[in-house]
Amino acid sequence: MKPFPLDCLPRPVAEFAADQAAAMSIKPEMLVGPCLATAAAAIGMTRAARLRSSWIEFLVLWCLLVVRSGSLKTPAIKNAIAPLVDAQKRIATLQAEDFEAYDVAKLKYERALQEWKRGKDNRGEPPTKPLPPEIVRHVINDCTIESLTYFLPTSPKLLAYIDEGAGFFKAQNQYKAGGKGSDTEAWLAFYNGGLWINDRAKNGGKPIIIDNAGVSIIAGIQPGIYQAIMRGQHTESGMKSRFLVCSPPPSAKRWAERDPNHNITRAWFHTIDKLLMLQSDLNENGSRTPRMLDLEPQALSLWRDYVNRQGDKTFEALKDAEAASLSKMEGVSARLAGIFALINKPSTSTISVHDIHNGIQVSEWFENEAARLHVWSTETDEDREARELIEWIERRGKPVSARDLSRADRKRFPTTLEADATLEQFAKAGLGTYKYPPPTDRGGKPARVFISAKGQNHANTPFLIQKQGYWQFTPLYMKEMATPTTRTTIKRGPKC
């Protein structure tokens, strides 16, 4: 995994991510996605990047943390979205007063209506029914379409916080008669900031029509669940390719001797508060419409070159899923550039060359991360077991004997014989060395140990493939074009 280019982020984001990561003993990448999604939600549908007259990108971001349980995913997300939660609490306090006044007005209306009905000739017009206060939300946990029906018309700055993403993906399409519905289609519309018409909600028979409906997402999911879910419909529908994924390698939890810097945290809250103050324009019909951010001339030239390069990469992609992911990155870079421009200067109406350059750099990091994680959704069970085993060995950071491996997983390696055969295969595949260390002064023959190759890139790690009665290793980048003659064949050993 490549280090995240923190220097490409606006200062409040970079400093907050680095400071929180240091205070929690985690990697800054754990904070970057949640921070970017929070900023995108704070801007909401009030701004959009206009790349040309026919190409508009709303500043909506979907970010997904793919990490193991116990990686401090939830605290990282909660710290990043805290400014939005704080703003929603303030709104809730004000709305409580509005609802109390509405309840009083409703009682008066009902009494007046009864008196009007008791009138013999019903002279005059009936009393006017009071309108309930608008329900405004910035953060939601209930991500069903039925729930969004009540919030979207009055909440143009909305973030869906999904602590466990498995439930969100599994719940898609569960509300239609017969067990399925248009939830996936609705969420794809929310990503694009498109027209959304809802006839399913109980709204007095009136359809809900929103010209530009958008919701940003921050979610977390465990690697094994991600691998199982991100196949089939989520790949085919394009939902998978819209998420900016991040999966920092796991590390041992450590006590941190310092708390987050108060001034840096306060600056992050202030940044989000300024973005929350941004308002949409109004068209001739009185409807909200986003204010456009145009590319400056130098930014447009840089963007044009990037689009052409990205177009070549998409065209040359071997798989449809890879092409779909690459094609989304053009829009992602523009969305990121627009968010960066507004964080640096909320009153801006343009995107500078500096912003578009940084947007491209960050989007390319997410592109590489998506390619790395794409392997997880395509690998076999044997591939996954081998990858996880190599990652475990490298996390230990010290030589591993067959006995160590057998003790770590008695189910897969009931004796040292099975563990020894597996480590031998890893050594033959070039994943490390498996040899006897020099004897010590105490005498005796030391146990043979496996030492993993340092700096191994998991995106190109050779994984175990079972075919025609043999264990085979092949680099992932060669998997699609590998033939039996190009693979290193190892005779079958005990299955790991």
Distances 416 to 170, 433, 448, 449 between C-alpha atoms, Å: 40, 18, 11, 12
Give the pLDDT confidence score for residue 182 in this predicted structure.
Answer: 60
Tell me the per-residue pLDDT of 362-407, one tens digit each, with 9 for 90 and over: 999 999 888 888 766 666 777 777 877 887 888 777 888 888 888 8
Question: Are 240 and 230 within 8 A, CB to CB?
Answer: yes
Q: What is the dihedral of CA 187, 191, 195, 197, to 10 degrees?
A: 20
Mean pLDDT value of segment 312-319: 82
Give the pLDDT confidence score for residue 479 in this predicted structure.
Answer: 35
Burial 415-437 (b: 16+ CB within 10 A, else e): ebebbbbbbbbbbebebbebeee
Give the pLDDT confidence score for residue 487 in this predicted structure.
Answer: 34
In this predicted structure, the answer to whether residue 129 has a pLDDT above a threshold of 50 is yes
Give the pLDDT confidence score for residue 454 in this predicted structure.
Answer: 57
Closest CA to 464 of 493, 442, 433, 432: 493
Is residue 139 within a helix (H) or strand (E), and if so which, with residue range?
strand 139-140
Phi, psi of 459 (to 5 degrees): -65, -25
Give the pLDDT confidence score for residue 30 in this predicted structure.
Answer: 93
Bridge partners of residue 490, in order along the sequence: 471
Using pLDDT thresholds of 50, 70 and 90, give the confidence band for residue 80.
Answer: very high
Alpha helices, DSSP H only, in 152-232?
A: 165-170, 183-192, 223-229
Strand order in the sheet with 470-474: 463-467, 470-474, 488-491
User: Bigger pLDDT: 45 or 194?
Assistant: 45
Tell me the per-residue pLDDT of 336-353, one tens digit each, with 9 for 90 and over: 999 999 999 999 999 999
In this predicted structure, the answer to whether residue 189 has a pLDDT above a threshold of 70 is yes
Tell me the per-residue pLDDT of 266-296, one tens digit each, with 9 for 90 and over: 999 999 999 999 998 888 777 788 999 999 9
In this predicted structure, the answer to whether residue 186 has a pLDDT above a threshold of 90 is no
What value does the mean pLDDT of the chain take?
Answer: 81
Question: Are 463 and 448 within 8 A, CB to CB?
Answer: no
Token pair belonging to 167: 């439930």
Phi, psi of 26 (to 5 degrees): -130, 175
Tell me the per-residue pLDDT of 418-461, one tens digit each, with 9 for 90 and over: 888 888 888 888 888 888 877 777 766 778 888 887 534 433 34
Closest CA to 240 of 353, 328, 350, 344: 328
In this predicted structure, the answer to whether residue 60 has a pLDDT above a threshold of 80 is yes
The 8-class DSSP code of residue 284 comes to T
Using pLDDT thresholds of 50, 70 and 90, give the confidence band for residue 200.
Answer: low
Give the pLDDT confidence score for residue 378 in this predicted structure.
Answer: 66
Using pLDDT thresholds of 50, 70 and 90, give the confidence band for residue 55.
Answer: very high
How do beta strands 350-351 and 291-295 pair?
Answer: parallel
Distances 331 to 42, 234, 327, 373, 479 between C-alpha atoms, Å: 19, 20, 8, 20, 30
Tell me the per-residue pLDDT of 213-267, one tens digit each, with 9 for 90 and over: 899 999 998 887 887 776 666 666 678 889 999 988 777 777 877 889 999 999 9
Helices (H) and strands (E) in the chain, counts: 16, 19
In this predicted structure, the answer to whether residue 115 has a pLDDT above a threshold of 50 is yes
User: Bigger pLDDT: 116 or 246?
Assistant: 246
Percent above pLDDT 70 for the chain:
83
Give the pLDDT confidence score for residue 376 in this predicted structure.
Answer: 65
Distances 44 to 35, 342, 426 between C-alpha atoms, Å: 14, 12, 49
Question: Are 300 and 319 within 8 A, CB to CB?
Answer: no
Give the pLDDT confidence score for residue 377 in this predicted structure.
Answer: 63
Query: Residues 6 or more apart from 156 whose CB is under 8 A from it?
Result: 44, 45, 46, 212, 214, 280, 288
DSSP 403-454: HHHHHH-TTT-SSHHHHHHHHHHHHHTTSEEEEPPPP-TT-S-PPPEEEEPT
Domains of the chain in start order, with CATH, are: 6-88+189-374 (3.40.50), 381-491 (1.10.10.10)
